[in-house]
């Protein structure tokens, strides 16, 4: 009989959708998702070159205890992103080199933890994507139960198991599993438009047609006034 605290059966965003969505920056996906889904900026890449994408494998722990993360490592599937609600605790590290090595060996896409980690130099050498609220040399306890495979709050965002997770140097994004596929065309259009705009700026086309109407709408300028 399975534990009521561990949900092993949930739908994941399909691998082909992950592959298509992974080419877009989290910033692009945030824009086409109505500027929703971005984790609080306290959760950042351990090193700026780290990035990841995959379905969320959710874990909730008590602050300072990583018992359920060990259980999650035994259950997560290749390609999953471990997303851990560590309550923002920075008084100790929930994971270090040993657990990150295990995560990589199991084929996980990376780890996102709303808490601290340690062994940051070794993790950098591993080139394994880790996003956290920072580092702390203290180790955790392994004594308190939690939950796996249920909705969590991580970085102020509700994350359901199987949701699409993407992250880079700008931060972490979560988009609902059922929604991410519908945003791919919009993301491509946004990326193309931004590339066109940047190319125009490099050619000296610095005008912003939307600026004057927006200033008038905001009451900064009156109708007929110019900058």
pLDDT at 209: 87
Residue 1 within any structural domain of the chain = no
Residue 169 within any structural domain of the chain = yes
The answer to whether the annotation marks 166 as part of a ligand binding site is: no
Chain-centroid distance of CA 43 in Å reads: 9
Chain-centroid distance of CA 82 in Å reads: 10
Residue 224 within any structural domain of the chain = no
Percent of the chain with pLDDT over 70: 99
Going by pLDDT thresholds of 50, 70 and 90, the confidence category of residue 149 is: very high
The answer to whether the annotation marks 171 as part of a ligand binding site is: no
Pairing of strands 110-117, 130-132: parallel
> What's the whole-number average pLDDT of the chain?
96
Residue 217 within any structural domain of the chain = no
pLDDT at 1: 52
The answer to whether the annotation marks 99 as part of a ligand binding site is: yes
> What pTM value is reported for the model?
0.94
Residue 134 within any structural domain of the chain = yes
pLDDT at 123: 96
pLDDT at 122: 97
The answer to whether the annotation marks 168 as part of a ligand binding site is: no
Domain count along the chain? 1
Residue 202 within any structural domain of the chain = no
Residue 213 within any structural domain of the chain = no
The CATH number of the domain holding residue 181 is: 3.50.30.40
Percent of the chain with pLDDT over 90: 95
Token couple for 182: 């519908």
The answer to whether the annotation marks 98 as part of a ligand binding site is: yes
Whether the per-residue pLDDT at 148 is higher than 70: the answer is yes
What are the start-end ranges of the E strands in 76-162?
A: 81-95, 110-117, 130-132, 147-148, 152-154, 157-159
pLDDT tens-digit series, residues 38-92: 999 999 999 999 999 999 999 999 999 999 999 999 999 999 999 999 999 999 9
pLDDT at 48: 95
Distance CA 188, CA 192 (A): 6
Distances (CA, A) of 90 to 7, 109, 166: 27, 24, 23
User: Which domain, by its residues, includes 24?
Assistant: 15-185
Residue 227 within any structural domain of the chain = no
Whether the per-residue pLDDT at 2 is higher than 80: the answer is no
């Amino acid at each position: 009989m399975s534990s009521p605290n561990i949900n092993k059966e949930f739908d994941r965003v399909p691998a082909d959708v992950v592959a298509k969505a992974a080419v877009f920056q989290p910033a692009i996906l945030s824009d086409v998702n109505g500027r929703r889904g971005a984790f609080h900026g306290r959760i950042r890449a351990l090193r700026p070159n780290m990035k990841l994408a995959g379905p969320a494998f959710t874990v909730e722990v008590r602050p300072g205890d990583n018992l359920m993360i060990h259980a999650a490592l035994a259950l997560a599937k290749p390609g999953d992103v471990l997303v851990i609600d560590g309550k923002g605790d920075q008084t100790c590290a929930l994971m270090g080199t040993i657990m990150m090595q295990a995560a990589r060996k199991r084929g996980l896409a990376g780890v996102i933890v709303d808490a601290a980690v340690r062994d940051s130099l070794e993790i950098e050498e591993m080139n394994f994507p880790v996003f956290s609220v920072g580092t702390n040399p203290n180790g955790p306890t392994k004594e308190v139960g939690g939950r796996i495979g249920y909705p969590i709050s991580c970085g102020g965002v509700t994350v359901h198991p199987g949701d699409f997770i993407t992250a880079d140097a700008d931060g972490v994004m979560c988009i609902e599993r059922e929604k991410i596929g519908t945003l791919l065309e919009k993301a491509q259009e946004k990326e193309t438009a931004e590339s066109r705009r940047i190319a125009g700026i490099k050619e000296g086309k610095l005008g912003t047609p939307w600026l004057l109407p927006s200033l008038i709408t905001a009451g900064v300028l009156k109708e007929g006034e110019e900058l």
